[in-house]
Amino acid sequence: MTRAPLDGLRVLAVSQFGAGPFGTQLLADLGAEVIKIEDPRVGGDVAREVGPYAGEDDSLYFQAFNRGKKSITLDLEHPEGRAVLRDLARVSHAVYNNLRGDLPERLGVTYAALRDVNPALVCCSLSGFGRTGPRAAEPAFDYLIQGYAGWMSVSGEPDGPPGKCGVSVVDFAGGYASMAALLAGLWDAQRTGVGRDIELSLLDTAVSMLSYYAIWALNRDWQPARVEDSGHQSIVPAQNFPTRDGFIVIFCNKEKFWTSLVQAMDLPEVARDPRFATFADRLAHKSVLVPILKARFAERTTSEWLSRLRGKVPCAPVNTIAEALADEQVAARDMIVEVKHPRFGVLREVGSPVKTEGAAPNLSPAPALGQHTDEILRTLLQYDPARIAALRASGALGEPND
C-alpha cells in the first residue's frame, strides 16, 4: 500500500475557528498527524459551539474543519502545561498557530521559545494582522479583513451597499497560504537541520490577492468600482445573465470565445457590428451590448444555454449550494466523503481537493475535546500514570486542583 504523502509528519496545532483548522485539515487529509492543542479553560476550540447544529462541545461547523485530527487539552498559561508543550515540540516537526499577533510569544509557541528542545522545529503563525505593526494585538476575522483589504468596495451592485463574499474566502486562503509556507519551512529544515519562524496574516493574504487590481491602482490612474451583474472590471461580456429560469455565468476572456458566443446565440448582426469588434470596443459600448445579450439569454432556460455553449464558451450555471454539491463533476472527483460520527451518525462532508497517489483522507471524525490527552501523554511522551495524575491535579490539563 502506498504511503500517504505526509505520513510521519507530526504537527502541533494551537488553532481554532476557521483559518488555521481549515489549513491543518489539508495536512491531516494528506497523512500528517495533527495534534490539536485546546485550551480547557474556555471549552477548547470556539468552533465547537458554533451553531446552528451544535451541542455537547461539538458541532457540524467544528466537524467541517477538524476531520482526522487528535485533541489534547493543555493550558499554555500554566507552567506545567508549558512544560508538556516543550516535550511535545521535542518529538514533533512543526508547531502551527492562528493566535492573535501578540500571543505566540506570550504562550511560547515561537521558534525562539522552542529551538532549544528541537533545533529543526518549524513554527508557523497565521494571525489577523501579523505580529508587528500597530494592529498586531487586535483580533481579526474574515469579515473584518474583507473590509480592511478593500474587497467589499468592489463586491455588490453599483447602486447597493458594499458586499462580502458569501464564503470565508480570506480564512480559507490564509489557511492554504500558511500550509504552503509551513511545508516550505519543513523542506528547508530537512535540508539544513535548522528550523525557523514563519509568519503570515489574513490582511497580508487578502492584500496579496488584490493582485492585478493593486498593480492597476498603484501604477495608473485606475479607480475600481462595483460592476453590475457581478461583471468583470474590464472584460465584456464577463458577468451573470438572467435566463428564463435562473442565471448563467459567461466569461469571454478570449476573442475566440466571443466569436463562438455570438454564433451560438444566433446574433450575426452583433458579430458584424464594429462597435463590438475588440475587447476595447466591447468595453466602450457595454451599455449597448449587454442589453442585447440579456434579451437573448432570457429567451431560453439555463440548461438550454449550457447545452449550446459548453465546450465552446466558458460558462456555468449559478447553482445553489445543494446543486453544487450534487454536480456530476464533484461526484466524479470524489469530493463528497462519508465520516462515521458517534453522535451525528454518518456525516457527508467535502473531501480534500488534493488528488495524488496515497492521499486517502483519514475519515475519522473530528475529536471530542481532549479525546487523546491520555493517549498522547502515555504513548508519545512516555509519561507514567503518576505523572499524568499529577498534571491533572495541577490543573495543567484543565481539571481543577483536588
Which residues does 21 contact at the CB level (< 8 Å), separation at least 6?
Answer: 13, 15, 36, 45, 47, 65, 66, 175
Place of cell 477538524: 66
Amino acid (1-letter code) at residue 82: R
Which residues does 291 contact at the CB level (< 8 Å), separation at least 6?
Answer: none
Write down the catalytic residue from 75, 171, 197, 204. 171
Q: Which of 142, 127, 131, 120 has the alpha carbon at shortest distance from 186?
A: 120
Which run of H or of E encompasses 37?
strand 33-38
Let me know: does 130 contact 204? Beta carbons within 8 Å.
Answer: yes
How far, in Å, CA of 351 to CA of 349, rounded? 6
Task: DSSP for 126-154, please give it.
Answer: EESS-SSSTTTTS---HHHHHHHTTTGGG
Kindly report whether the peptide bond that precedes residue 52 is cis, defined as omega within 30 degrees of 0.
yes
Place of cell 512516555: 382
In the beta sheet, which residues pair with residue 197?
123
- Report DSSP state, residue 132: S
In the beta sheet, which residues pair with residue 349?
337
First to last CA, the chain: 49
3-state class (DSSP) for residue 349: strand
How far, in Å, CA of 38 to CA of 319, rounded? 37
Which residues does 256 contact at the CB level (< 8 Å), separation at least 6?
Answer: none
Residue 171 annotated as catalytic: yes
Q: How many CB atoms lie within 10 A of CB 301?
A: 13
Place of cell 485606475: 222
Q: Which of 278, 154, 268, 291 has the alpha carbon at shortest distance from 214?
A: 154
Question: Looking at the annotation, which residues are catalytic?
Answer: 171
